[in-house]
DNA sequence: TTAAAAGCACAACCAGCGTTGTAATGTCGT
DNA sequence: ACGACATTACAACGCTGGTTGTGCTTTTAA
């Protein structure tokens, strides 16, 4: 899984534009390699267990270089990884949301289940595609009590909250067209949708530590979407 | 002299007063005090951060005594706490399940929502009554990858799995009487019920680290139960 | 009262790890 | 080739913390 993009000598001098603001060559590449390695190791071992040396080895670099890039040490590295990984995943999550549930073009009533199922599958696939990230999120939640409050606040505002907010507004569009019946506030609907489709990897397999077979995941997702539609399907369905 | 902090017996741990029939003095009491303290500290700090000295202070005992009771050290202590706390909570959870959803006496259709709501509230209250335990469970899930596989297996078989199994069989009784429509297998129904009523403390407040106001919790639970009944309410309702 | 057991404070040992300094080595632009 | 800087290996420091041994004190049972 890892080590694919950790080739430090990344080809030619692609990022070698000197003189502006980047002091050296592939500085960004190196930083990304460190962040990716930190994501893997923090996600696997947790904050306390993870050793900076292990991260350095995983990133195919040296401990000293990590401290050169992140003078704040382990703590700043963890915060940087939170920010970096969450932004990446959030963007991809929002992209998949817009692909399958565009508020500008609500689906036909007949296609609602198909689209919701596609969205649920896309989000589920996301958890596999960014497995390292979600393994890390586990530890963010657990370490929340040991992190600065504003850091955690900022993370969840820029990460999961942003997704849920946009999802709720997409649901609002569905509600306006009678495709779903919110039965109250839309935040609830969004939460319940996620609750019904997410137990796949969460409840059943320790946050994805032991992956489930694809067909089993598919069965659980389909079951969740059907239950969601029975609970919130609108008059037009 | 550091004897100023001898304000032990902070809780009801007045252990060694009554030497009745116990072979040694309050051996069980002492063990329970250690286990309870370990539950608190492990739940707050996690396995790696938690220091044995901290647990000893929390238990108003000495580090050495902990090693006398648990020769396996920190690791065995954690495993013992898992077992001890989970058994306690599971029993209480099953008791509340039977109180509000007795398979022998299914409720009237009119009372189904009331009973499910009562059960959901009872389980939610349980998470407050045994807050330390659920704080610990967080860390069990996160540490699963660093614990012996059979230990984790045994824990979830004797703990959450047992509850879900009995809950599913209670739902089977409801299904037999037409009170709910399983739309497939009953394990799904049980999972979805729990998913719809548990986001209270889980999604919204970091696994209960920052408790929500009671009325908010009540609102979320009621919303979850109503959604559940729309999804799984049987013909008789 | 007395002896044994339990509990305790204290100290020591050792391992792991975060962090920093330093000198050697590699790499790139000129 | 040369110089500047990035990168590295290496070592050292200090701190935290798990674990154990050891007498001293307290409690319990006879």
Contacts of B203 in chain A (CB under 8 A): 191, 194-195
Q: Which residue has the higher pLDDT, B22 or B118?
A: B118
Topology (CATH level 3) of domain B83-232:
Tetracycline Repressor; domain 2 (1.10.357)
The answer to whether B120 touches B194, Cβ cutoff 8 Å, is: no
Q: What is the pLDDT of residues B153-165, one digit of tens each?
A: 999 999 999 999 9
Q: What is the pLDDT of residues A209-220, one digit of tens each?
A: 667 888 988 999
Q: Please, what is the average pLDDT of chain A? A: 86
Average pLDDT, stretch A193-204? 74
Residue A130 has pLDDT above 50, yes or no: yes
Q: Which pLDDT score is estimated for A9? A: 35
Q: How far apart are CA A22 and CA A14, in angstroms?
A: 13
Q: Which pLDDT score is estimated for B203? A: 58
Residue B114 has pLDDT above 80, yes or no: yes
Place of tokens 């962040």: A35
Strand D atom within 7 Å of A62 CB: yes
Q: How far apart are CA A42 and CA A50, in angstroms?
A: 6
Q: Which pLDDT score is estimated for B92? A: 98
Residue A81 has pLDDT above 60, yes or no: yes
Q: Look at A166-180, B17-31, B216-230 and tell me which has the smallest mean pLDDT.
A: B17-31
The answer to whether B60 touches B13, Cβ cutoff 8 Å, is: yes
Residue B1 CB-density burial (10 A; 0-12 exposed, 13-18 middle, 19+ buried)? exposed
Interface of B with A (CB under 8 A): 44-46, 48-49, 138-139, 141-146, 152, 183-184, 188, 191-192, 194-196, 198-199, 203, 206-207, 209, 220, 223-224, 226-228, 230-232
Residue B9 has pLDDT above 50, yes or no: no
Residue B3 has pLDDT above 70, yes or no: no
Strand C nucleotides where any atom sits below 7 Å of a protein CB: 5-11, 16-22, 27-30
If pLDDT is split at 50, 70 and 90, which confidence band does A31 have? Answer: very high
Task: Name which of B43, A226, A40 is nearest B35 in CA terms.
Answer: B43
Strand D atom within 7 Å of B19 CB: yes
Average pLDDT, stretch B88-117? 95
The answer to whether B115 touches B100, Cβ cutoff 8 Å, is: yes
If pLDDT is split at 50, 70 and 90, which confidence band does B214 have? Answer: confident
DSSP string, A107-138: PPGGGHHHHHHHHHHHHHHHHHHTHHHHHHHH
If pLDDT is split at 50, 70 and 90, which confidence band does B77 have? Answer: very high
With a CB cutoff of 8 Å and minimum separation 6, the contacts of B14 are none
Distance, CA of A185 to chain centre: 25
Q: Which pLDDT score is estimated for A56? A: 98
Q: Which pLDDT score is estimated for A26? A: 64
Give B76 CA → D26 C1' in Å: 28
Angstrom CA distances, A174 to A112, A132, A163, stand at 9, 33, 17
State the smallest CA–CA distance between residue B47 and chain A in angstroms.
9
Q: Which pLDDT score is estimated for B23? A: 37
Task: Name which of A159, A121, A3, A144 is nearest B205 in CA terms.
Answer: A144
Residue B4 has pLDDT above 90, yes or no: no
Topology (CATH level 3) of domain A1-71:
Arc Repressor Mutant, subunit A (1.10.10)
Average pLDDT, stretch A217-234? 95
Q: How far apart are CA B37 and CA A129, in angstroms?
A: 40
Residues B141, A138: C-beta atoms closer than 8 Å: yes
Mutate to test the interface with A, among B186, B230, B233, B235 (most CBs of A within 10 A): B230
Q: Which pLDDT score is estimated for A19? A: 32
Q: Look at A151-155, B2-6, B183-187 and tell me which has the smallest mean pLDDT.
A: B2-6
The answer to whether A40 touches A59, Cβ cutoff 8 Å, is: no
Residue A178 has pLDDT above 80, yes or no: yes
Q: How many CB atoms lie within 10 A of CB B40?
A: 21
If pLDDT is split at 50, 70 and 90, which confidence band does B229 have? Answer: very high
The minimal CB distance from B209 to the residues A48, A144, A183 is found for: A144
Q: Which pLDDT score is estimated for A21? A: 34
Q: How far apart are CA B152 and CA B166, in angstroms?
A: 20
Residues B203, A191: C-beta atoms closer than 8 Å: yes
- Both structure tokens of B115: 């009973």
Nucleotide with minimal C1' distance from the CA of B64 is C8
Residues A48, B48: C-beta atoms closer than 8 Å: yes
Specify which of A14-18, B136-140, B200-204 reaches the highest per-range mean pLDDT.
B136-140
Q: Which pLDDT score is estimated for B8? A: 33
Share above pLDDT 70 across residues of chain A, in percent, rounded to a whole number: 83
Residues B141, A207: C-beta atoms closer than 8 Å: yes
Q: Which pLDDT score is estimated for A202? A: 58
Q: How many CB atoms lie within 10 A of CB A54?
A: 18
Q: How far apart are CA B155 and CA B150, in angstroms?
A: 8
Average pLDDT, stretch A62-81? 97
- Both structure tokens of B174: 């409801």
- Both structure tokens of B4: 């100023």
With a CB cutoff of 8 Å and minimum separation 6, the contacts of A237 are A109, A112, A179, A180, A229
Task: Name which of B76, B217, B207, B215 is nearest B148 in CA terms.
Answer: B76
Interface of A with B (CB under 8 A): 44-46, 48-49, 138-139, 141-146, 152, 183-184, 188, 191-192, 194-196, 198-199, 203, 206-207, 209, 220, 223-224, 226-228, 230-232
Q: Which pLDDT score is estimated for A51? A: 98
- Both structure tokens of B1: 């002299």
State the smallest CA–CA distance between residue B195 and chain A in angstroms.
6
Average pLDDT, stretch B87-103? 96
Strand D atom within 7 Å of B67 CB: yes
Residue B26 has pLDDT above 60, yes or no: yes
If pLDDT is split at 50, 70 and 90, which confidence band does B15 have? Answer: very low
Mutate to test the interface with B, among A74, A135, A145 (most CBs of B within 10 A): A145
Q: Which pLDDT score is estimated for A24? A: 46
Q: Where are the domains of chain A?
A: 1-71, 82-232
- The torsion defined by the Cα of A208, A209, A213 and A217, in degrees rounded to 10, comes to -20
Q: What is the pLDDT of residues A45-59, one digit of tens each?
A: 999 999 999 999 999
Architecture per CATH, A82-232: Orthogonal Bundle (1.10)
Average pLDDT, stretch B89-93? 98
Residues A46, B138: C-beta atoms closer than 8 Å: no
Average pLDDT, stretch B170-188? 94
Residue A25 CB-density burial (10 A; 0-12 exposed, 13-18 middle, 19+ buried)? middle
Residues B142, A138: C-beta atoms closer than 8 Å: yes
């Amino acid at each position: 899984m890892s080590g694919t993009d950790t080739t430090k000598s990344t080809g030619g001098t692609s990022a070698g534009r000197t003189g502006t603001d980047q002091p050296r060559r592939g500085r960004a590449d190196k930083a990304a390699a460190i962040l990716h390695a930190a994501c893997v190791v923090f996600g696997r071992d947790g904050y306390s267990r993870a050793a900076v040396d292990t991260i350095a080895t995983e990133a195919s670099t040296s401990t000293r270089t990590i401290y050169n890039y992140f003078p704040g040490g382990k703590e700043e590295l963890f915060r940087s990884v939170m920010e970096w990984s969450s932004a990446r995943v959030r963007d991809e999550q929002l992209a998949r949301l817009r692909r399958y549930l565009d508020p500008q073009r609500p689906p036909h009533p007949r296609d609602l289940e198909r689209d919701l199922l596609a969205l649920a599958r896309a989000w589920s696939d996301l958890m596999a595609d960014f497995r390292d990230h979600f393994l890390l999120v586990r530890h963010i939640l657990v370490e929340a009590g040991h992190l600065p409050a504003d850091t955690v606040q900022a993370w969840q505002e820029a990460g999961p909250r942003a997704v849920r907010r946009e999802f709720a507004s997409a649901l609002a569009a569905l509600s306006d067209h009678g495709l779903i019946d919110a039965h109250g506030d839309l935040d609830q609907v969004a939460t319940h949708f996620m609750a019904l489709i997410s137990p796949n990897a969460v409840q059943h397999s320790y946050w994805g530590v032991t992956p489930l077979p694809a067909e089993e995941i598919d069965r659980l997702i389909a079951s969740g979407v059907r239950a969601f539609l029975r609970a919130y399907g609108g008059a037009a369905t």
